[in-house]
């Protein structure tokens, strides 16, 4: 499948930097580069938003949640709890600031960005624990934050999609209707292929090199996050093996045609459908992994971003009639 020419140009420009093997680059440098590139490749928001950072936990267990709201918005606001990507190693609120603000504006919702602890300093299951703790705190604090605890959506990209699934599983065991929607963007659902425990998928093989996220990158992220490869069989690491996926709320899954993780999203959609969960799956033909963060460098990526927002708003309008579409 042909990749969007603007994305091809972006990949070509980045190629010289990618010559150095990932294991020879310091985590500090990788994080700085990811932060810079994600921001630069994201569209500058057309309007200001409020921004409120909250620290949760203490000491080595502390992490942050950053809440973005459209200015002058009515209260209480619907809430999107967002879990970011970056292989459980990279990414933070600063990297995703433009995207977070754009989603808040486009959905006329509050976006609570969960800046969970990352590997290798804090390996599995720290990110899962933080994500569950963040959701619990936000639900309990919704009223004083001007948020509507009855209109909450979980959303996550890549590694963050994995975390969003885990949060939905955790709370869904007692109340499947607690969250209105689960929105997953090219999610990580299965670490087993990257430890040689199962065969690589067709998309793992087809896009193993040079399309932004390499197969070896996933192996590296698995090493940093799980440390012990045997943990790849844990449902909290590889949700595709979970036996309780039927507790998930209505789900929408967005994938990129030219992405090692494409088949993981498709496999999850099939599993959810088989277990009776309402699921909608959409794969963008000309896109690569992380296309939500490419909207400033590719018209097609911006169109894909807007399509995600449009479908999200349509689903939310049906579910609670509160999120007005404001796609630019």
* Tens-place pLDDT, residues 101-153: 999 999 999 999 999 999 999 999 999 999 999 999 999 999 999 999 999 99
DSSP secondary structure string for all residues of 158-214: THHHHHHHHHHHHHHTT-TTSSSEEEEES-----GGGGTSSPPPHHHHHTSSSSSS-
Integer Cα distance of 189 and 245 in angstroms: 12
Region of poorest pLDDT, from 207-216, 250-259, 314-323 = 314-323
Per-residue pLDDT at 324 exceeds 80: no
Q: Say how far residue 63 (Cα) sits from the centre of its chain.
A: 17
CATH topology classification for 5-320: Rossmann fold (3.40.50)
pTM of the model: 0.96
As a whole number of Å, the end-to-end CA separation of the chain is: 28
Band (300; pLDDT cuts 50, 70, 90): very high
* Tens-place pLDDT, residues 197-211: 999 999 999 999 999
Helix (H, G, I), strand (E, B) or coil at 153: strand
**pLDDT at 75 (0 to 100):** 85
* Tens-place pLDDT, residues 68-101: 999 988 789 999 999 999 999 999 999 999 999 9
**Exposed / middle / buried, residue 25 (Cβ in 10 Å: 0-12, 13-18, 19+):** middle
Give me the chain's average pLDDT, please: 96
Q: Which letter, b or e, does each residue of 239-250 get, where b requires 16 or more Cβ atoms within 10 Å of its Cβ?
A: bbbbeebebbbb
Per-residue pLDDT at 322 exceeds 70: no
Q: What are the strands of the beta sheet with 147-157, ordered from one edge?
A: 49-56, 63-70, 110-115, 77-83, 147-157, 181-185, 251-258, 279-288
Per-residue pLDDT at 323 exceeds 50: no
**pLDDT at 127 (0 to 100):** 99
């Amino acid at each position: 499948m042909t990749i969007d020419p603007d994305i091809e140009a972006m990949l070509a420009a980045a190629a010289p930097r990618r010559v150095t093997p990932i294991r020879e680059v310091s985590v500090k440098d990788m994080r700085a580069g990811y932060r810079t590139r994600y921001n630069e490749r994201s569209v500058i928001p057309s309007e200001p938003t409020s921004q409120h950072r909250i620290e949760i936990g203490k000491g080595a267990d502390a992490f942050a949640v950053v809440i973005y709201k459209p200015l002058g918005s009515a209260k209480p606001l619907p809430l999107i709890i967002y879990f970011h990507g970056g292989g459980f190693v990279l990414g933070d609120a600063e990297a995703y600031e433009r995207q977070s603000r754009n989603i808040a504006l486009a959905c006329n919702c509050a976006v609570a960005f969960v800046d969970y602890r990352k590997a290798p300093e804090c390996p599995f299951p720290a990110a899962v624990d933080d994500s569950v703790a963040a959701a619990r705190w936000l639900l309990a604090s919704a009223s004083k934050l001007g948020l509507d605890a009855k209109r909450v959506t979980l959303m996550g990209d890549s590694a963050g999609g994995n975390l969003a699934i885990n949060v939905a599983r955790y709370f869904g065991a007692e109340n499947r209707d607690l969250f209105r929607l689960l929105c997953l963007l090219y999610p990580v659902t299965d670490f087993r292929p990257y430890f040689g425990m199962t065969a690589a998928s067709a998309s793992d093989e087809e896009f193993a090199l040079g399309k932004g996220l390499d197969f070896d990158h996933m192996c590296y992220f698995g090493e940093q996050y799980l440390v012990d490869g045997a943990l790849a069989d844990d449902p909290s690491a590889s949700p595709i093996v979970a036996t309780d996926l039927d507790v998930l709320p209505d789900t929408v899954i967005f994938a990129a045609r030219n992405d090692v993780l494409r088949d993981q999203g498709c496999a999850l959609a099939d599993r959810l459908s088989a277990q009776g969960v309402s699921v909608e799956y959409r794969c963008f033909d000309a896109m690569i992994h992380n296309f939500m963060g490419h909207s400033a460098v590719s018209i097609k990526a911006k169109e894909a971003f807007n399509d995600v927002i449009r479908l999200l708003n349509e689903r939310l309008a049906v579910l609670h009639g509160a999120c007005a579409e404001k796609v630019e």
